[in-house]
Amino acid sequence: MIRKIIVVLTLFMSVISFAQKNNASAYSFFGIGDKNNANTVEQISMGGVGVSLGETFRLNFSNPASLSSLNFTTYTLAIENINLTAKDGVNSEKGASTYLSYIAMGVPLGKNAGLSFGLLPNTSVGYSLTSNVLDSSDEISEATLYEGEGGTNKVFLGVGFKVFKGFSVGLQGNYIFGDVENSILYQHRDVALGTKYETKSNVKGLALTGGFQYKRKITDKFDLYLGANFDLESDTDADDEEYIYSVSLATIPRDTIMTVQSDGVIKSPLKTSLGVGFGKDNKWFAGVDYSFQDAIELQGSINNNYSKVAYDKYSKISIGGFYTPKFNSINSYWERVTYRAGMKLEKTGLMVNGSGIGNDFTAIDDFGISFGVGLPVSNQLSNLNLGFEFGKRGEITKGLIEENYFNFRVSFSLNDKWFKKREIF
């Protein structure tokens, strides 16, 4: 068992030190990037449902109270492939990225408690945009290049336990850290040197999550599931640096014009997630989750530089579920396969003024449909999970961009039984 722990911790630490570009969206330009989907592949394949669901051999990132249901030591990791097609009404561009989306481990602590820890991206930045000005001869007279990379990660440690039959509570601590870099390079045709504005932010902070789940048998054929999760109010600090300098045609810095250091804060209000569902253990589940949060606040000189962005209240509704014909079937492999499907409608809270006129802000909403399968590995409870998601974010209006995406995800959920009692025959 000690060897297993060492292998897991070694892999965990190597992932922390591995930088990755995991976004291709123009909307990752704002703030500290796009907020990543903090759910497992299994959950995302059901539209993101999971606040009320606790399972014996799968991790659930939506509610730490679900850890009380864990009966097997579970290792899980996932890879995600994002494909975007961005349209502005005239042009269409494509982008893609592939990255390790999470790695985590859960361990049961007796019959009524469980613990988990892991690493997953929290926000991500990854874009490269060009804006050109043409003269009367339709030749480029001015060019501006917008680029950004980086993001933040989240390391978490959670515990859940049963208070009494059917009722569980959980608590999770999160440490958020990372670096974000953005730059704007301006070049005029008749000027030898260009001008580059660059910002760098080192982000770090702590956050707490708490939740509960309640399960009650209604009939012999189905159970009632209730759950709630609370991401408590938190502040994330950002150490910011701003630079303006001239560059040569090879984008090599020449003369530094300005250097400014400042501090910023990202204030995240309480986020509440509620879930309700019906189902039968290891057979089927259908549920609805609803999340809501007041607008986040970005404070600091860098975050206040962009007058074309504002933040509103966040909300998300998810509907989905799964079906397994017979999870312990001996005769048929396909009866042990789990089939999942769902949909989501998310108001991201991001507001963009694409027209640049007054306070003409437009909400950036996200709609997606997802499905997937869980394929059993050998005769154990381990699974290879495949997930597919189609969706649209933003709209072609007032100078904005519509993004159509197709995401493919694959995860491994491997189960083992630790701390076995020695049996004497």
pLDDT tens-digit series, residues 256-301: 666 777 788 889 999 999 999 999 988 999 999 999 999 998 887 5
Q: Read off the pLDDT of each residue in 177-196 and give the average, rounded to a whole number.
A: 85
pLDDT classification of 175: cutoffs 50, 70, 90: very high
Where do the structural domains in the chain lie, given as residue ranges?
2-390+402-416
The single-letter code of the amino acid at 175 is Y
Percent of the chain's residues with pLDDT above 90:
45
Highest mean pLDDT among 15-19, 26-30, 116-120: 116-120
Highest mean pLDDT among 125-134, 181-190, 220-229: 220-229
pLDDT classification of 332: cutoffs 50, 70, 90: confident
- Between CA 405 and CA 409, with CA 406 as vertex, the angle to 5 degrees is 130
Average pLDDT, the chain: 85
Q: Read off the pLDDT of each residue in 214-232 and give the average, rounded to a whole number.
A: 94
**How many CB atoms are closer than 10 A to CB 72?**
21
CATH number for the segment(s) 2-390+402-416: 2.40.160.60
For residue 338, list its beta bridge partners: 374
Q: Is the pLDDT of residue 402 over 50?
A: yes
What is the tens place of the pLDDT at every residue in 105-154?
A: 999 998 899 999 999 988 888 777 777 777 777 777 888 888 888 889 99
Task: Kindly give, in sequence order, each residue whose CB lies less than 8 Å from that of residue 165, ignoring residues fewer than 6 positions away.
Answer: none
**How many CB atoms are closer than 10 A to CB 169?**
17
Nearest to residue 133, comparing CAs of 188, 193, 89? Answer: 188
What is the tens place of the pLDDT at every residue in 349-369?
A: 988 887 777 788 888 999 999
pLDDT classification of 21: cutoffs 50, 70, 90: low
pLDDT at residue 254 in the model: 63
The C-alpha atoms of residue 257 and residue 186 are separated, in whole angstroms, by 14
Residue 365, both tokens: 């909403």
Confirm if 46 and 341 have CB atoms less than 8 A apart.
Answer: yes
Nearest to residue 152, comparing CAs of 84, 231, 236, 78? Answer: 236
150 versus 17: which is more confidently predicted? 150
Confirm if 183 and 196 have CB atoms less than 8 A apart.
Answer: yes
The C-alpha atoms of residue 179 and residue 182 are separated, in whole angstroms, by 10
pTM for the structure as a whole: 0.86
Confirm if 17 and 28 have CB atoms less than 8 A apart.
Answer: no
The C-alpha atoms of residue 159 and residue 68 are separated, in whole angstroms, by 8
Q: Is the pLDDT of residue 405 over 90?
A: yes
The C-alpha atoms of residue 58 and residue 69 are separated, in whole angstroms, by 9
Q: Is the pLDDT of residue 380 over 80?
A: no
What is the tens place of the pLDDT at every residue in 77-98?
A: 999 998 988 887 777 888 888 8
Exposed/middle/buried for residue 322 (C-beta within 10 Å: 0-12, 13-18, 19+): buried
